[in-house]
Structures are given as C-alpha cells and as structure tokens.
Structure 1
Amino acid sequence: MSDLDIELDGGRTAYFPGDTVSGTVRWVLPKEPSRIELVLFWGTAGKGTRDTGIVARECWEKPGAYGTQTFSFDLPTAPHSFAGRLVSLHWGIEAIAGKTRFVAPLTLSPDGREIQLPEEPEMEEIGRGAGVTAWLKSFRSRG
C-alpha cells in the first residue's frame, strides 16, 4: 500500500495574492524513496497549448518509508485562478515520491474565489470585428 497526502493548515484551499500557504505532507510507502519533492505550481487546461509554471519547491532527501514534514510557501501576486469556456488556470501543491503523486488544489485570487470568465460575446456585440479592424489600421499607419 502506498499513501502520500498533503494536508493544508486549517483545511484552507482559497488564498489571496501574497498569502502564505502551509501544511503537512504525510507518507506511508512500501519502501523508502530517494526523495520526496513538494512543488507549488500553476497550470492551464483547455483548448490549445497547456502551460505550467513552478513557483517554489522543497525537497527532502532519504525521507524514510513513512513520515511527516511541514512546509510553507509564499504565494505570488499572480496569475489568478480562473475558469473559462476555452481555458482555465489552476493552482496546486504536488507531492512526488517516485511514481506516487498527490495534488492538493488551491485557488489564488483577489477575493479567494476562482474568477469566472464571461462567455464569448456575439459578433454583433463587438461590432463585427470593428475593434480589431481599427487596431490593425492604427498599427499599419505607425509603420
């Protein structure tokens, strides 16, 4: 049996820019891994290319087959968590011990809630591309 878990202090999952996220990593593994790594990251999902960013990491060498370790990461001011029809951005802390992984999801935003992007506007609402056309004309005239 393999078990790897992240418990965030106070069971909190919503954070504000610049907050500190802290908690405990617990593991019970069949054999001692060479190391346990903890990664604070963000990632996009949806249509198109997926992007990820690693913001911080901690690593414990030769941690034993079972144990606990506390951690603390200072969160950046951005990017904020958001969800849209075409793309979303999520935050998480991932614990990695060999092939065993566990992710604790987080939300990072000014009000502590995932930002919901509006649906795409109808063409009539944006003047059938008039804004883009005007921008292109102004860009070409600078040339």
Structure 2
Amino acid sequence: MKQEMGKVPFALAGIDHIVFIVDDMQAAMDFYLNVLGCQPGYAYPELGMEQVWAGNALIVLWDHTHPGGAGAKPPVAGGRNVDHVCLAAGPFDHDALRAHLAAHGVEIEREAMHGGARGLGNSFYFRDPFGNKIELKGPPPHPDA
C-alpha cells in the first residue's frame, strides 16, 4: 500500500454520471427508460448524446455513429464501452487539486466547465493507473446554477 502524501483537497459526494458508448440511440433509450425506469434528462442532439436520470445520478448515452459523436470511441470487439465515470466532489481549490494530482504523478488531460447531475461545474479529467478515464466534477459555482 502506498503511503499517504497529505490530505485530499476535495470531498467526494458520490457518482455524478457515467457515459456509455452506444450505436443505436433508440434501442438505448428504450432500454434505460422502459426496462430500467430511468427518467429523461438533458439532450444534446448536436453531439448524438442523451442523458437519463438514474435516481440522483445521470447515465449518459453517447452514439458513436452520430456525426457529433466523433469523440466517442466505439468498443473494440469484446472490449469496454464506457467512456468515463464522473465523481461528484464538494467545492475544491483548483490549484490545490492540480498540485495534489501532480504530487501523485497523475496527469490532468483536460479541465472544463460541464453539466451533470448537479448542474454546471468545474471538471478535471485524468486516468487511473489502469487507463480508466475519471472526471472529478465540482458543484455548481452558483447555488442557482
């Protein structure tokens, strides 16, 4: 077990969303809405993306066959079809988070302001030691966001 390198500069609040790569949006929506009982969420038609509510979290369905889904990587035969998992965090200091990740040898791939289950928030994208993409997303910067 690796030794701790100091306090983590954020508090996890749970899973915000997970992104599944699909190739048939109608079949995906039918399954998540009609089989699992999810509720419709946000739609991003220009990206070929639909979101459905699963309790307090979102499941994002991203169609890699849609012209706007160029960023979605289809699964290799027998491979994974999850783009990333988003972990919801409490408020955090961006510089402290950057320093914390750097101290652990974790490279930040991207920083952005994105929507999710709690609204718009600052996101940091990086990979775990196994190559899984993680998005750490803070709360909305304004209470009414």
More strand by percentage? 1
Tell me the TM-score normalised to structure 2 length.
0.26
Tell me the TM-score normalised to structure 1 length.
0.26
Pair member with larger Rg:
1
